[in-house]
Chains A and B, each alone.
Chain A
Amino acid sequence: MTVELVQKIVGFVGVLRRLGLRVGTSETIDALSALGLVDLLGRDQVRMVLATTLVKDKLHAPIFQAAFEEYFSAEEKQRQVPEELCGDEEGERLSVQGRPLDLEPDLERVYQSLESDERSRLQDFLDKTSQGRKVGPQHDALIVQLVSGHLRRMKEAEEKMVPQSFAETGDPRIDGMLSAIADRLSRAGELPLAYRDLGSIGPEERDRMVSVLRQLARKLATGLSRRYRLAAGRKQVDFRRTIRANVRFGGVMMRLKYRRRDVRRPRLVVLADVSGSMERYSEFVLLFVYGLMRGVSGVECFAFTEDLVRVDPGLRSGEVDVIGEMLTGVVRAHGQTTNLGSSLQTLGREYGDLLSSRTIVIVVSDTKTKAIGEATGELAEIARRVRTVLWLNTVPEDRWNKLPGVAAFSRYCVMRECYTLAQLNDIMRGALGAV
């Protein structure tokens, strides 16, 4: 086993981790051991070996596949044609009247990652608009600005398609690779829906997303249901019943009888911000939470903008298709802006009976609200009355430092970034499994 191979595999594992796969050191060692048993020149065999040892969930298979193709192709390309790349670099860059445009490195990367026909279209556009006109080098800066804006919008649209866990590391080589992998996944349509930004799910994919969401919720509810059933049957010995049951054995304790412990399932109270772009996220979160009804003792949902509105208490999992319409109705009735403080005040005043030591309050919001001070006070008061407040922040964590509400609210809740279904599932599994 050469040092080069070890470094290559460790590098690949690093890329997988950035893509959200949990790969431990022991799995890496397994992968290296396993590679010693197959033909390293057989690409398919190498791929299968790495998949067997590094991937432990079917859901991660497309991500692994894209990463493998990109990582090992990049290595091969670098090894085989480094001079070509250097030599042709000027020819592949976007240009005006033969002059290459001086784009920022990340935007250059976006351009390079486009399909060839898209690159050609952009180049053709520049050629046509600068042909026969009095366009000279003095206009290059303006053209760069225009093209940069276009590429930046494409980059933002692409980032919405993929989880922010693919975010930049600062290492241009790795970032370039992650970007290329994300692009490969999104273009192939293979990125599992569970890893897509919920806000980017369009109407054409909504039904599929709801189907995936229901499967995950059902699985989680089954696990919770089983967990509480088992916990209820365990494990303090009931001496009186045990003695009575073992009299036939001359008093020898052959069979133990256990006291049934009253394990009380938590109640969920969900407060979903439906202002502006939050509506889409909130709809999916509510659908997921309703899917958990089998695993918890009760679910109460509220939507809020300027004030709090209860989502129909009669709603059951079979009727969740109407949730989207209801949320839209709330926005129409109560406005597009957010006033969390006022909403929490209404919760405490009119629905205080829902708030107890068994209650988990889940807030779905990007923390952008009026009157942060007032909201913080109300949140503190709610947090004192319930088991825990879990805040699902739809803004990626690396942008939290720009949100003043985050620091204020975090003191009274557990705040987690949550903009994909996979994150929502993990958070709910952790929150409900831990009670």
Chain B
Amino acid sequence: MEVTVDWLRERFKADGYICGDDVIIPTYLALRLNRPLLVEGEPGVGKTEIGKVLARVFDTELIRLQCYEGLDETKALYEWNYQRQLLRIQLNRDADPVHDMERDLFSEEYLLERPLLRALRSEQTPVLLIDEVDKCDEEFEAFLFEVLSDFQVSIPELGTIRAKQIPIVVLTSNRARELSDGLKRRCLFLYVDFPDVSREVEIIKARVPEVEPALAAQIARAIGYIRTLDVKKRPSIAETLDWARSLLNLGAHRLTPELISQTASVVVKSRDDLRVIGEGKTCVDIVTRAAEGTDDDS
């Protein structure tokens, strides 16, 4: 089955991932060119979700490598099961000749597959999600080059392992630090920005369908306005949906300054930001902005 732009667009929509061609086209190109897709953007805009959606769209396994500071090959690629090896040595001390045991000890039986190796050895094309790659250090980034360029890795005891099926690779980054040019060069680039009001309304309607359309529009406009304020962390789509669910649970039909003040902690996640949007005049401004806009938004 050949992947086309239209097909991919429909499948994403059917899976509930609302986006425009600015996301579909780069994803399509990554699939057709067999290149990794590097997705950057603020936290909570739906970067990781792209990997998950692709796994569902292609009905395949999602293999996730969550990056963190200090991540190395033993956690990402493979490790030998030293404890089992040691036990084997102890148990067979007086039995098998050493040279046979050595061959056995470095065999598949004692190999612990980590996500990258699992992705390369998968029989079916998996989706390999390398999440928050900006959290790992530069040495690990350099290690990823061979995987991302040639879809192969070198294990001293086993030789070079090439991918049986080229995995669909999605890397995400929150831009906490600048990624190396070497990594960027090997990937296609996608920046996911916060959605505009009409798209955010679509997302709310898709994920929280019980919310009234007019309220959904108000929430989207309010969030759009809050993102322009001087807050340390701008509310993401996750916060938008949480807020919609919260207001639904409170039986709200429209936004009021009191409701905003009461539910501000759902939208922003720091004391300083709470002070910014919880302040009386700001709540009134948010309500005013939420009430503006056209019927087209809903």
Residues of A within 8 A of B (CB): 22, 24, 26-27, 30, 33-34, 37-38, 44-45, 48-49, 51-53, 55-58, 61, 219, 222-223, 226-227, 230, 249-250, 252, 254, 429
Contacts and interface: CB of A to CB of B under 8 A. Distances in A.
A57 B175 CA distance: 10
A58 B194 CA distance: 13
Contacts of A223: 177-178
Contacts, number: 75
Interface string B86-97: 100110000000
B86 A254 contact: yes
B35 interface: yes
A425 B297 CA distance: 41
Interface in B255-275: none
Given A249-B86, A429-B178, A52 B137 contact: no
B191 A58 contact: yes
A325 to B, nearest CB: 23
Nearest to A254: B82
B79 to A, nearest CB: 12
A52 B189 contact: yes
Contacts of A56: 38, 181, 184-185, 187, 189
Contact of A227 (B5, B26, B137, B175): B137
B185 A230 contact: no
19 contacts: A34-B32, A45-B5, A45-B21, A45-B25, A52-B190, A53-B29, A53-B188, A56-B38, A57-B184, A57-B189, A58-B175, A61-B191, A219-B177, A219-B178, A222-B176, A223-B177, A226-B177, A227-B138, A250-B86
B287 to A, nearest CB: 27
Contacts of A22: 181
Contact of A52 (B26, B69, B89, B177): B26
A230 B71 CA distance: 11
Contacts of A222: 176-177
Contacts of B191: 58, 61
A22 B29 CA distance: 21
Contact of B189 (A37, A38, A55, A250): A55
Most chain B CB within 10 A, of A27, A48, A61, A223, is at A48
Nearest to A47: B25
A252 B83 CA distance: 10
A30 B176 contact: no
A235 to B, nearest CB: 10
A48 B22 contact: yes
Contacts of B209: none
Nearest to B70: A230
B38 to A, nearest CB: 8
B40 interface: yes
Contacts of A429: 178
Interface in B44-70: 69-70
B137 A30 contact: no
A226 B69 contact: yes
A22 B176 CA distance: 21
Contacts of A37: 28-29, 32-33
A48 B185 contact: no
B133 to A, nearest CB: 14
B280 to A, nearest CB: 25
Interface in B159-192: 175-178, 181, 184-185, 187-191
Contacts of B89: 252
B29 A49 contact: yes
A30 B26 CA distance: 12
A38 B274 CA distance: 46
A38 B32 CA distance: 11
A12 B234 CA distance: 35
B30 to A, nearest CB: 8
Contacts of A249: 86
A231 to B, nearest CB: 10
A27 B185 contact: yes
Contacts of A230: 69-70, 137
Nearest to B40: A58
B33 A38 contact: no
B3 to A, nearest CB: 10
B108 to A, nearest CB: 21
Given A26-B185, A58-B40, A222-B176, 8 more contacts: A45-B21, A48-B25, A52-B188, A53-B188, A56-B181, A219-B178, A230-B137, A254-B83
Contacts of A49: 25, 29
A429 B181 CA distance: 14
A34 B35 CA distance: 11
B94 to A, nearest CB: 15
Nearest to B5: A38
A38 B4 CA distance: 9
B190 A219 contact: no
Contacts of A252: 86, 89
A78 to B, nearest CB: 27
